[in-house]
Chain A
Amino acid sequence: MDVNVVGPKVYYTLPFDIPVLGPIQITETLVVSWIVMAIITGLCIFLTHNLKVENITKRQAFAEMLVETADKFVIGNMGEKFRGFIPFVAALFATSVVSNLISLIGLRSPTADLNTEAAWAVVVFIIITQQKIKAGGFFGYLKGFTQPIPVLTPFNILSELATPISMACRHFGNILSGVVINGLLYAALALASSKLLGLIPGAVGAVLSNVPILDVGIPAILSVYFDWFSGVMQAYIFCMLTTMYIANAAEG
């Protein structure tokens, strides 16, 4: 029996080629990303319709709690002057969490594609650089690479570039490992159940051995770690690092 852990499916490739950037592909990652966005936006609209000033519903209390948590997280980690980053960090966290957890309903997580995390990490990297230039001026930013002694310049550039790469790879690796292990586990349990039910003699055994009965329930235990814990944790870590890096960069 072969077990293949593959990348996201390519549903459609636009027939024309664009130089340098290559063909436009509609992949599973993009489609599921759109589903994720629809879920988040739908949830927001559901939570905030019919808002009242007093005598609020549980739904509204939950929405207020989300907003207050986002405020507290960003302001607590970055300070009052970074209020403008609240929606950005909230979007990052929400997209990450929902993308990670959407594997629970059988879809392929967009975060199991390095492109997604790389996109986020590059955006964060651009914000970090922009904040550094804003804090110390363009030449101050360049000069920062030669500190404390000019010999360290290559290492400083390396460490600067390592920031987005490590952020993206950390998140991607955690989610991908979940995908790989879940794939292996499903295959192994299917094999085990087919062998187990194959012990029943006659036609009954032949039919039942095709039903991967052990795949029901058991992977859910591992999914508690790989989907729930790891998914929420990685989203939290990604946002935490984002806020920390940006706040540090602004301090110069």
Chain B
Amino acid sequence: MNTQELVTLVPWTFIAQICNLFIQMYLIKRFLFKPIREMLAKRKELADAQIKDAEAAKEEALAMKAEYEQNMADAKEKAGEILSTAQKTAEKKSDEIIREANSQAQALKNKAESDIAQERRKAVNEIKDEIGGIAMEIAGKVIEREISEDDHRKLIDEFIENVGGES
């Protein structure tokens, strides 16, 4: 079998090798770079989508947190309001109760005073009557005569009037 020279240039082999290089370039591009790059692009897309999702979730969480804080603040404010209202109400009520108690005590005192005064008047009247009786007895004994009942009463009244006026 023929052999080529060890170091020589053969035009057709040379041209064929140039073609082979470009065919090989196309084949590598088609079968290695293209699928790998497509896959890498897909992976990048996926990663981007995941990052976007995570960002959206974070934003949502932040919004929820803000809302929650707002709610908390509202609740606190409301609680404070309720508390202060209750305090005010209680104060008012206690004032009212005290005032009522005062007035009741006053009323009781007044009643007691009027009772005392009535009792006193009653006692005074009783004493008047008794004194009248005693005086009449004494007078009957002193003058030893019967006076008519009318004169009698008149006399007593006169006497009491005098006593009462002096007392």
Contact = CB atoms under 8 A, between A and B. Distances in A.
A91 B33 CA distance: 11
Contacts of B25: 87-88, 90-91
Interface string A1-45: 000011111110100001011111101011001100100110011
A91 B55 CA distance: 42
Interface string A87-117: 1101110110000000000000010011110
What does DSSP make chain A's interface, helix, strand, loop or mixed?
A: helix
Interface stretch (B39-47, B63-71, B94-102): B39-47
Nearest to B34: A48
Given A22-B10, A30-B13, A48 B35 contact: yes
A67 B9 CA distance: 34
A239 interface: no
**Chain A interface category by residue count:** 35 or more
A44 B4 contact: no
B7 interface: yes
B14 A118 contact: yes
- Residue in B26, B36, B40, B43 whose Cβ sees the most chain A Cβ within 10 Å: B36
A27 B18 contact: no
Interface string B1-35: 11111111111111111101101111111011101
Nearest to A30: B16
What does DSSP make chain B's interface, helix, strand, loop or mixed?
A: helix
A66 B24 contact: no
B90 to A, nearest CB: 67
B122 to A, nearest CB: 112
B27 A44 contact: yes
Nearest to B37: A67
Nearest to A46: B31
A31 to B, nearest CB: 11
A10 B3 contact: yes
A115 B16 CA distance: 9
Given A87-B28, A95-B24, 13 more contacts: A6-B3, A7-B6, A9-B1, A9-B4, A40-B24, A48-B31, A51-B36, A52-B39, A87-B26, A91-B27, A92-B21, A95-B21, A113-B13
29 contacts: A7-B4, A7-B8, A8-B3, A9-B4, A10-B1, A11-B1, A21-B15, A25-B13, A27-B10, A29-B13, A30-B17, A37-B27, A40-B27, A47-B32, A48-B32, A51-B38, A53-B46, A64-B36, A64-B39, A91-B27, A91-B29, A113-B13, A114-B8, A115-B9, A118-B9, A119-B21, A120-B17, A122-B18, A172-B7
Interface of A: 5-11, 13, 18, 20-25, 27, 29-30, 33-34, 37, 40-41, 44-45, 47-48, 51-54, 60, 63-64, 66-67, 70, 86-88, 90-92, 94-95, 110, 113-116, 118-120, 122-123, 172, 176
Interface of B: 1-18, 20-21, 23-29, 31-33, 35-40, 42-43, 46
